[in-house]
Structure 1
Amino acid sequence: MALLDTNQLKEYIAISCKLLKPASFAHLIRFMKSFFRWSHEEGILSKNLTSKIKEPKVEKRIPKYLTEREIEHLRESCHPPIEKAIFEFMFSTGCRIGEIVSLEKNHINWTNQSAIVRGKGEKEREVYLNTLCDIWLKRYMESRNDHNPKVFVTARQPHKMSVAQMRYIIKRISNRAEIKKEIHPHQLRTQLCNSFDE
């Protein structure tokens, strides 16, 4: 550590800038600044070699929205009731996957087509179901013979569905729809927000 000087550090950074992607390079700089600041504060180094190095600005990625046509292709590619129910719930409510897998039957109010979901920090909020979601959610619930309290469960030995399992279902639907974009569940949430803005 004692042999390292500012010029050597700058040379290393210049090489890294050429070899790494912008986001990875920015992460490296943040890590280095944190490490050298800690080393200086602990008395390991006499000075912080990265004190004058600025973190690079990383351009925000433009989200790849799904078109209305792509949304319809995804909808048509949902086959069993559970796929239709998951898709319509996600699209109509804008919920995150973590909120959906934690949803329980007694949190649904069929009278006013709403549900109470728990988000980050265990905060509760009310979301509303559109007509298609109401129809397919009821059909899915009626097709089940188990007594598990969760709304969405696994097919075999029904138990709470994991986030990974729900992501797999969304991926399976997108593969059937033959959409070239890489589909992520949050795109359905983004599409919902855009529909309100228009």
Structure 2
Amino acid sequence: MEEKIVIVLNEMSEYLSITQMKKLQEVIIKTFADNEANKVKISNEEFLKMFLDAKRIEGCSERTIIYYQATVKHLLSQITTEVRKITTEEIREYLSNYQKRNDCSNVTIDNVRRNISSFFSWLEEEDYILKSPMKRIHKIKTKTVVKSVISDEGIEKLRDNCNEKRDLAIIDLLYSTGIRVGELVNLNIDDIDLEGRECIVYGKGDKERRVYFDAKAKVHLKEYIDNRTDNNNALFVTLDAPHDRLKISGVEIRLRNLGKKLALERIHPHKFRRSMATRAIDKGMPIEQVQKLLGHSQIDTTMQYAMVNQNNVKTAHQKYMA
């Protein structure tokens, strides 16, 4: 059907102005959309549920699913039009009002745009709509901000001020492997090979990969495990009984409080990941190998995590260009 519409538009292009062509396209799409909508009545809530189910099957994490759900649900609460009849103009107005009302940055509003775009792209792929209304809403320009990493001095301060063996093991494991905090809390004791200084983690989409840790991490992990008195098979557990598996929020709060106590700039689990990538590239590790360790499917993602040391850029320039 879509191919036939394209043929009609191509045939008429030499007889109509650009404005007339756009209007003709809108009328044709709306007419066919109405005809399709009359075949099966599916509510907006059902469409959202079907979309989330599809994303679960694709292997998206529960955290991502919740983010999709919150974003699209809010959109559908503000735009009461049937999903298959929502227009580009309605979504543009929604995004504009969202940004004004919440006083959020371009980065935040672009994340909202991307989630909404995923929803409508799925509708298009599943033939529930002829064309996604998001196609004419392009990526919102954002400033490229060089995010800070944890310095060697900062890492030593964190280590020296850990009062718990568990926290020290967490810091060293995060810093030497660059694993995600979700991967960290899902680790079991059996996943750790202390002699080989390696462990298996399951990343986004349950993709399995092997990561490696240094000698310091090995020592502190062994001390922590040997001093455990509980029977939980989780690698990291709460300090108090009944010693349940540690949650992501538990790691985040612990590290944030330790960072504030030492007056270090915004210490959070993801900062260790970025610091590991930067340090690896800075020391000469090929970017493809860093990509493998971090579990990125695209090398561009790895480059966004890594901040190359400016002193090394200067040295390289003098070596190759002077």
Same fold, TM-score > 0.5, yes or no: yes
- Mapped to 2, the partners of 1:27 and 1:63 lie a distance apart of 18
Question: Take 2:171 and 2:117, find their aligned partners in 1: how far apart are those partners?
Answer: 43
Matched position secondary structure for 1:186: helix
Alignment of 1:63-78 (within 5 A): 63-78=147-162
| SS class of match (2:209) | strand
Structure 1 residues 137 and 61: CA distance shift in structure 2, 3 A = same
Deviation digits for residues 80-107 of structure 1, max 9, x if unmatched? 1011111111111111111111101111
> 2-side partners of 1:122 and 1:32: how far apart?
24
Relative to 1, partners in 2 of residues 1:125 and 1:29: Cα closer, same or farther, differing over 3 Å?
closer
Please give the root-mean-square deviation of Cα atoms over the aligned residues, in Å. 3.4
Does structure 2 conserve the Cα–Cα contact (< 8 Å) formed by 1:118 and 1:124?
yes
Q: Aligned to 1:60, which of 124, 134, 144?
A: 144
Q: Does 1:165 align with 2:243?
A: no
In structure 1, the partner of 2:178 is: 94
CA radius of gyration, larger in: 2
Match runs of 1:174-189 below 5 Å: 174-179=259-264, 181-189=265-273
> 1:60-97, CA deviations, whole angstroms, 9 ceiling, x for partnerless residues?
33212222222222222212101111111111111111
Specify the alignment match of 2:280 in structure 1.
196
Task: Tell whether the 8 Å contact from 1:98 to 1:163 is kept in structure 2 after alignment.
Answer: yes
After TM superposition, give the deviation of residue 149 of structure 1 in Å: 0.5
Q: For structure 2, list consecutive stretches of 5 or more residues without a partner in the other structure.
A: 1-80, 82-88, 283-322
Q: Provide the aligned length of Structure 1 versus Structure 2.
A: 182
* Fraction of identical pairs, as percent: 25
Matched AA of 2:251: M
Inter-CA distance 129–32: structure 2 relative to 1 (3 Å threshold): closer
Q: 1:192 to 1:29 in 2, by over 3 A?
A: closer
**CA separation in 1, counterparts of 2:114 and 2:205?**
27
Find 1:113's aligned residue among 197, 219, 227.
197
Residue 175 of structure 1: how far off its partner (Å): 2.2
**Structure 1 position 23, deviation (Å):** 3.2
Contact persistence 1:101–1:160 (CA under 8 A): yes
Partner of 1:136: 220
Q: Secondary structure at the match of 1:121?
A: helix
Give the unaligned 5+ runs of structure 1: 43-47
Structure-1-length-normalised TM-score: 0.75
Amino acid at match of 2:222: K
How high is the TM-score relative to the length of structure 2? 0.48
